[in-house]
Amino acid sequence: MFNHVQFFPVIPLTSRMSLYNRVFPLIKKWKFPIGKIITYIIGVLYSHRPLSFFSLVTGLYVLHFSIALILVNKEVPQTRGMLYPRESETREVRSLDGIWNFVRSDQANPTQGVRDEWYAKELSQSKPTIPMPVPASYNDITTDNLRDHVGTVWYDRKFFVPRSWAKDQRVWLRFGSVHYEAYVWVNGQKVVKHEMGHLPFEAEVTDLLNYGAENRITVMCDNALIQTTVPQGRITEVPNDGGMTIVQSYTFDFFNYAGIHRSVHLYTTPRTFIEEVEVTTNLSKDASVGDVIFSVSVNGSAANEADNVLHIQANLYDKEGVLVANVTSDGKLGGKLQVNQVKPWWPYLMHPEPGYLYELEIKLLATNEELLDVYRLKVGIRNLSWDKKQFLINGNPVYFRGFGRHEDADIRGKGLDNALMVRDFNLLKWIGANAYRTSHYPYSEESMQFADEHGIMIIDECPSVDTENYSQELLGKHKSSLEQLIHRDRNHPSVVMWSIANEPRTGSMSADSYFELVANYTRSLDSSRPITAAIAVPHTQDKAGRSLDIISFNRYNAWYSNTGRLDMVTQNVIEEATAWNKHYNKPIIMSEYGADTLEGLHMLPAYVWSEEFQTEVFSRHFKAFDELRRKGWFIGEFVWNFADFKTAQSYTRVGGNKKGVFTRARQPKAAAHLLRKRYFALGRDLDQCSFPEDLFTYIAT
């Protein structure tokens, strides 16, 4: 029999009271005799006797907790298609970016628009609209309280489709990202629903369009986060001066921006078209010969015709447009291209020509050699490998030096901004970084392409942050976020590692089985890259590390712990990293360290929030990192953060998180110049790169 007396003390009082507050209204609704029956049933299960109401609440907590521990490895729906929209001889692409019409729903009545069918006509006929840029977060655009809106908002716009698209074409509607959940209608007809911010989705709209005429697209976006969304949050109803209001809360330390964050495209394909392309690469031991292995999936009626055996003509071109390899597939629509005197893809500062990309041209041909479709993508040829001590690219050990980042900027929030993206990559190269982590969600496809071109390595992170209260539903969505992420990014040479979570509560009882399932599922999708997670609990409490290939840990010495004590940094970092390695015998990365810094604040001696203090914190970490590097298993250092970013309102945050080495306007703080010297010094010592001419300011002869 279950011993409730022994179990009860480990249930925190706050958790018991929280459960009581949630269950009591339900019991009142049940009334008698249902409430009495439920009390009796739980009583029998729990202690073979009827229970008091407080014991009932405890029993429900235990029952819920026990069920949550039983996690089943269920199948996750698989993504199809989703190739990045590119024009070719057989495809056209049209952007729907621009100014859309916008309506916010009543927070107390978020489903009103669905019930009243706002999508059946122009939004302006249901509610007054305001202009809203797409792509952009909607939160900081207006001057009212839209910033903290919780629930649904609506967008619509009109567009024309040319008559020429009606001839032997299929038309697709694609969103780069809508946060968090999206419902889409075209001309009043529902076409797609998608849950998960920061990832693309699409639907075929061929039969819903008016060709040579005007069309309307309507989008409902819901930003609400609960305990089974990825990431998680809570919705509560609290009293305010006007009665009651809805409040969104979450534990992660960045603002929950929402809206249509990335570009919206209409694109065409032929009736039978290239739906998916998967590419893997390999290098010979002497790195003189490279292989590009590809497989193609096709969608369309011609693919099912017995007398029409489709095949692929694959051509590989170098940067100068010279054909270096070609092959014709059989009916299996796959093959291998071999490149002699190959130019491998190298990270920035590891080679004089980093980020070398070939262009892979894939032509889909019918039996009679009729050209059905053409799709092109960039390919980087490289090898990844790892063991218990190191991570290697093309056979060479890698030492990661970079940042945790955010897609965040003034006014547009998390909206795609090409000017900002180019500026960020210029700063990454200026400072000598060779990597960053997409903390804490997938970044735009455009930024991934830019990383490929510039040789910046990516630790690609799914949107699971501060993961807790593990459940079957959460597990399914967590796995789905990774499936969508890997499906989108698997062909990028810049992606060298998958991060399956940031600061999950891995000390809890069910974290062991939960993250074993998540990690094994990730490997089943892609075994060519190692798996990590950024862990914040002490190694003595962690239950997820055994399922990872590389251990990453976050710690803020002299900031969140031992605040202001610069004499308590170096040894603490050395001891903790060593303990992680000894515990798991795996390579170690310090994935976050840093200190908030108010630009322009100078204090001597160094004092928290000053630029001097941030510089000193970095210097003390550098000393620890150099000692750890000599041990052979410490493989990387990532500053938190690249640039200042917005958070939820808090008395500990003055306009947001200020741990950036660059301001939110992308200007350097004093620590950026120190970090630049550090990263280029590492590049010279480890990869034999040369110093920039302006690295050191002239002082004297």
Residues assigned a catalytic role: 503
Tokens 């630790």, residue located? 459
**What angle, 0 to 180 degrees and rounded to 10, lies between the N-to-C axes of helices 418-431 and 670-687?**
60
The answer to whether the CB of 126 falls within 8 A of the CB of 118 is yes
Tokens 């690469």, residue located? 281
User: What are the backbone angles phi and psi of residue 432, rounded to the nearest 5°?
Assistant: 85, 20
| Residue 483 CA: distances (Å) to CA of 75, 228, 293, 337, 667 | 11, 17, 21, 27, 36
User: What are the backbone angles phi and psi of residue 514, rounded to the nearest 5°?
Assistant: -60, -50
The answer to whether the CB of 293 falls within 8 A of the CB of 282 is yes
Look at residues 572, 568, 570, 588 and name the one whose alpha carbon lies nearest to residue 580: 588
CA angle 503, 507, 510 (to 5 degrees): 105
CA distance 362 to 379: 12
Find the farthest-apart pair of alpha carbons in the chain and give their distance in angstroms, rounded: 93
Residues contacting 37, CB < 8 A, separation 6+: none
The answer to whether the CB of 132 falls within 8 A of the CB of 99 is yes
Give the long-range contacts of residues 203-207, CB within 8 A, separation 24 or more: 203/172, 203/173, 204/170, 204/171, 204/172, 204/173, 205/171, 205/172, 205/173, 205/266, 206/169, 206/170, 206/171
CA distance 235 to 247: 6
CA distance 505 to 508: 6
75 CA to centre of own chain: 21
User: What are the backbone angles phi and psi of residue 510, rounded to the nearest 5°?
Assistant: -90, 0
**Which tokens go with 643?**
């640039």
- Adjacent-strand bridge partners of 669: none
